[in-house]
Amino acid sequence: MVSQSTWNTSFGSGWAFRNPKTFYIPEAYESLPSLREAANLFKETQAREPLLDPIGQLFLDSGMHGRYGVSLLHKHFSMETNQRLVDLQNLSTPWTVPKYEGFVIPRTFRFFNGIWSPVEFDYSPCTSDGDPDPAFLVGISALLRQHGLENVLGVRSLDRYDSELSVEITEGKTNIMMPRRSVKDSELIEAVWVFSTDDDERCHSREYCWRATEGNHLSDHGCS
């Protein structure tokens, strides 16, 4: 666990952030593209090819493929600078910090201005192991810079996952994980990719976001 001064820098007193190599930067979240923009960036930068190799290969070579995946960086909605996007039981909402006892554990990381900053979190009443290995983050950041993908792809923890709930939809300022059959496949955008040593499952999508066809906000939020 980090010192109280680091807690204050990262979250405010009463909240613990376990990895001293990463720091929360509000701008790292606020500057994320909308879902629609993120999907377009993924296509424009031809990110799928380096996602398969060398990025995916680094996950496999480092043995991190069981703990982390790759996420499509996008912003769900704007938040105040004293808020964090926190997931609790498959619902992600902005939380004001500090507010509750317990631990906010980084879930999604973005390489931003030369620093790995968490942009999404899980809540836990107790601490959890699993901070990304510094050497692994160095390798990933080098590949993202090399292929111009720092604003397109991030690193996502795979610790908390319900295989029955793979589609994220947004209602107001709440992200909700739903079963895949809840919406049409044609309305989905890929959001999280995972890697496997099995050649048939080398790189595949594990989570999706829903791209609604109407409404100002929802039309910009979804993943397939």
Domain count along the chain: 1
Q: Does the structure show a pLDDT above 70 at 216? A: no
What is the distance between the alpha carbons of residues 51 and 56, in angstroms, rounded to a whole number? 6
Q: What is the pLDDT of residues 59-112, one digit of tens each?
A: 999 999 999 999 999 998 999 999 999 999 899 999 987 777 778 889 999 999
Neighbouring-strand partners of residue 167: 178, 208
| The two three-digit tokens of residue 69, written as one number | 């995946």
Domain range for residue 180? 4-220
pLDDT of 4 reads 30
Terminal CA-CA length for the chain: 37
CA atoms of 76 and 171, how far apart (whole Å): 10
What is the structure's pLDDT at 177? 92
Q: How far is CA 2 from the centre of its chain?
A: 22
Q: Judge whether 28 and 114 are in contact, CB under 8 Å.
A: no
pLDDT digits (tens, 9 = 90+) for 127-153: 655 568 889 999 999 999 999 999 999
Q: What is the pLDDT of residue 19?
A: 45
> Per residue in 35-58, pLDDT tens?
999 999 999 999 999 999 999 999
Report H helices in the chain.
Answer: 4-10, 26-30, 35-44, 48-50, 56-62, 134-146
Going by C-alpha positions, the residue among 145, 99, 101, 97 that lies closest to residue 118 is: 97
pLDDT digits (tens, 9 = 90+) for 154-186: 999 987 666 777 899 999 999 999 998 888 999
Mean pLDDT of 20-46: 91
